[in-house]
Amino acid sequence: MSELRDEFLAEAQEIVESLSRDLLLLDQAQKDNLPSQELINEVFRAVHTLKGIAGMFGYGRLGEVAHALEDLLDDLRLGRKVLETELLDVLFEGVEVFQRLLAESPDVEVSEVDVVGFLEELSSVGASRPPVEDELSAYAIDTSVLAVLTEYEEHRLRTNVAKGVALYRLKVRFSLTTIDTQLEDLKARAKSIAEIITYLPSSSGGDGDAIDLDVLLASSATPATLEDVLGGEGATLERLSRGTSPAAPVRSTEHHALVPPAPLPTPRPTSAPPAPRVPSEPPVARREVTADQLSLRSVAHTVRVDIRKLDHLMNVVGELAIVRSAVMRLTEKLRGRPELRQLAIDLHRINRGFERHLEELQDGILDVRMVPLGQTFDRLARIVRQVAREHDKEVQLVVTGAETEIDKLIVEELSDPLMHLIRNAIDHGIELPKIRESAGKPGTGTLVLNAYQKGNHVVIEIEDDGAGINPQVLVETAIRRGLVTEDIAADMSRDEALQLIFLPGFSTRTKASDLSGRGVGMDVVKTNIGRLGGVIDVQSEVGAGTKLTITLPVTLAIISALLVRVGGREYALPITAVQEAIVFDPRRVRRVEGREVVTLRGETLTILRLDELFRTQSDARGGRRYLVVVAVGQKRMGLVVDGLEGQQDIVIKALGKSLSRVRGFSGATDLGDQRVALVLDAPGLLDEVHSSTERTLGEGRR
Q: What value does the mean pLDDT take over residues 529-549?
A: 90
User: Out of 150-154, 201-205, 443-447, 573-577, which region has the weakest mean confidence (pLDDT)?
Assistant: 201-205
| 537-546 confidence digits (pLDDT tens) | 999 999 999 9
Cα 561 to the chain's mean position, in Å?
A: 29
Quote the pLDDT of residue 128. 59
Question: Chain-wide mean pLDDT for the chain?
Answer: 79
| Radius of gyration, alpha carbons of the chain | 33
Helix (H) or strand (E) holding 30: helix 2-31
Q: Give, as one character, the DSSP assignment of residue 514.
A: S
- Residues 89, 162: one domain? no
Q: Count how many domains the chain has.
A: 5
Catalytic residue set: 48, 70, 424
In angstroms, rounded to a whole number, what is the distance separating the alpha carbons of residues 13 and 50? 10
- Residues 581, 674: one domain? yes
| 420-476 confidence digits (pLDDT tens) | 999 999 998 999 999 999 999 999 999 999 999 988 889 999 999 999 999 999 998
- Residues 140, 126: one domain? no
Its sign, for the CA torsion 350, 351, 352, 357, is positive
- Residues 194, 75: one domain? no
Residue 661 CB neighbour total at 10 angstroms: 9
Three-state DSSP string of 644-680: EEEEEEECCECCCCCCCCCCCEEEEEEEECCEEEEEE
Last residue of a domain, one of 298, 331, 348: 298
Quote the pLDDT of residue 452. 94
Residue-range definition of the domain harbouring residue 394: 389-553
- Residues 412, 538: one domain? yes
Cα 582 to the chain's mean position, in Å?
A: 40
Quote the pLDDT of residue 262. 38
CB 528 within 8 A of CB 682: no
Helix 374-390 with 2-31: angle, nearest 10 deg:
50
- Contacts of residue 324, Cβ cutoff 8 Å, sequence gap at least 6: 351, 354, 355, 358
- Residues 424, 541: one domain? yes
In angstroms, rounded to a whole number, what is the distance separating the alpha carbons of residues 405 and 376? 11
- Residues 510, 397: one domain? yes
- Residues 546, 692: one domain? no
Highest mean pLDDT among 150-164, 495-509, 595-609, 680-694: 595-609
Quote the pLDDT of residue 324. 84
- Residues 164, 188: one domain? yes
Q: Which residues pair with 250 in a beta bridge?
A: 237
CATH number, domain with residue 238: 3.30.70.260
In angstroms, rounded to a whole number, what is the distance separating the alpha carbons of residues 215 and 142? 14
3-state SS, residue 573: strand
- Residues 427, 476: one domain? yes
Q: What value does the mean pLDDT take over residues 61-69?
A: 88
- Residues 611, 487: one domain? no
